[in-house]
Structure 1
Amino acid sequence: MINWTLKRSPDPSHTEAPARVVTEQLAGRGVAVEVLRAVDLPIGPGVVSEAVREGGAWPAVHHKLLDAEILVVASSAWFGHPSSVAQRVSETDDEGRPVASNRVAGVVVTGNEDGAHHVIGELQGALADIGSTVPGRAWTYWHLGPGPGPDCLEEERGRDWSHRTGRAMAANLYGVARAPAERPVGAPPG
């Protein structure tokens, strides 16, 4: 899971809270799970596999992405758009083909404003653009509607629904991730 929260560790991440439901469900099915908080890593904006600046962490994250069968991305919503940290990750291979073929992916969104479905749509589109298969209902979100208010770690309202959809998301990701082992989906022709 790549968490695109704006908060650095060890600050609590409201985005990580509902994402944890998904990762715990995947781990319960025997999936090895690793959580990366992108804001903690020196990742410069760019669309290449190499570090865009000296000491950049993207090559190591890229390697983990290519090794993963399931990718979960988690972002806060900001005025109906993914966090600015989310916009640092995208790339193609040397032939211009997507790098994430034969993988499945899903999305977690949090925020105190409306627009979660818009953010989910943007992120699912980006995941498909890099080659991921995005199963139906491979998303969950938590928000309290427009305007400022309490965060998901402080508010019980909406949490049960978010957790139910998170468990469904994990089940759908796991189910679809098993298929490429038998019938791999290769990268499209360059």
Structure 2
Amino acid sequence: MLNDLQESWCDQKTWDFSGLKALFLNCTLKPSPGLSHTQGLIDISRAIMEKSGVGVEVLRPVDYDIAYGVYPDMTEHGWETDAWPEIYAKVEAADILVLTTPIWLGEKSSVCTKVIERLYASSSDLNEAGQYAYYGKVGGCLVTGNEDGAKHCSMNILYSLQHLGYSIPPQADAAWLGEAGPGPSYMDEGSGGPENDFTNRNTTFLTWNVMHLARLLKDAGGFPVHGNQRSLWDAGCRFDYPNPEYR
């Protein structure tokens, strides 16, 4: 799964990543146990994380009956069932969220769009410090496809995550693209995907960077609170200006 350099970096690390939790949401259109080419990139990143002591969970949202909408629980808004609250509990518990998607018509999958919409539903929740709920969490993305659009998908996903409150480290995306049009996909024999040095490098850098930033934030007690507490803003506090109620 990992090449010699990837293995050696895991063995030589001097950082303690234990206690960190990562969640990969594989936004493939294929239900389990169907072959997901995106899973191939996930497996590399997951192997590095697990060798470094990070607790990792991978799931496919397509396996769940997730309602459409932008509220935390859509059963309160006319839907008979909604599995999103179950998934969101895992999102809440994770220090690292990596959204992964195939490319269709140059865009992220419809499943990935739905996931981002549902993440948005809880973006106004507040953490214990009065910040938005995703503050202190780290985001990244992985993309696979047989057509152009990897950077476009990454820009969209990473912008969405940071807008919701996630912290995005350097080099927080990685992708593999096969030849345009019909042809082998990442996990197909002869695709060259698993051996692609550029993709392996970026997947490795992404993985270490999300772990490093998650460790820094966790050890710091979260993202610094000054100037970004919604609870204080709503109470009338204007940061760095006098407020008699919050001296």
> TM-score scaled by structure 1?
0.92
CA distance in 2, matches of 1:81, 1:164: 23
- Answer yes or no: is 1:176 the counterpart of 2:213: yes
- Per the alignment, residue 186 of structure 2 pairs with 152
Structure 1 residue 19 displacement after superposition: 1.5
Secondary structure of the 2:206 match is helix
Larger proportion of helix: 2
- Answer yes or no: is 1:161 the counterpart of 2:198: yes
**Could you tell me whether the CA contact under 8 Å between 1:107 and 1:124 is conserved in 2?**
yes
**Larger RCO, structure (CA 8 Å, separation 6 or more):** 1
- Per the alignment, residue 157 of structure 2 pairs with 123
Deviations 1:13-62 (A, max 9, x none): 01111121111111111000000101011111222221443332100111
**Could you tell me whether the CA contact under 8 Å between 2:67 and 2:81 is conserved in 1?**
no
Aligned residues: CA RMSD: 1.8
Paired letter, 1:138? A
- Per the alignment, residue 50 of structure 1 pairs with 73
**Could you tell me whether the CA contact under 8 Å between 1:107 and 1:123 is conserved in 2?**
yes
> TM-score scaled by structure 2?
0.72
**Could you tell me whether the CA contact under 8 Å between 2:125 and 2:133 is conserved in 1?**
no
Deviations 1:85-144 (A, max 9, x none): 01112322357x853211001100000001100000000011112110111111110112
Quick one: which of 23, 28, 39 aligns to 2:51?
28
Answer with 10-19 or 176-185: which moved more: 176-185
- Answer yes or no: is 1:111 the counterpart of 2:145: yes
Structure 2 unaligned blocks of 5 or more: 1-23, 235-247
Structure exhibiting the larger radius of gyration computed from Cα positions: 2
CA distance in 1, matches of 2:133, 2:74: 16
Secondary structure of the 1:46 match is coil
**Could you tell me whether the CA contact under 8 Å between 1:45 and 1:87 is conserved in 2?**
no
Secondary structure of the 1:35 match is strand
CA distance in 2, matches of 1:29, 1:84: 32
Structure 1 unaligned blocks of 5 or more: none
CA distance in 2, matches of 1:156, 1:50: 42
- Per the alignment, residue 62 of structure 1 pairs with 88
CA distance in 1, matches of 2:110, 2:185: 19
Aligned residues: 189
Paired letter, 1:106? G
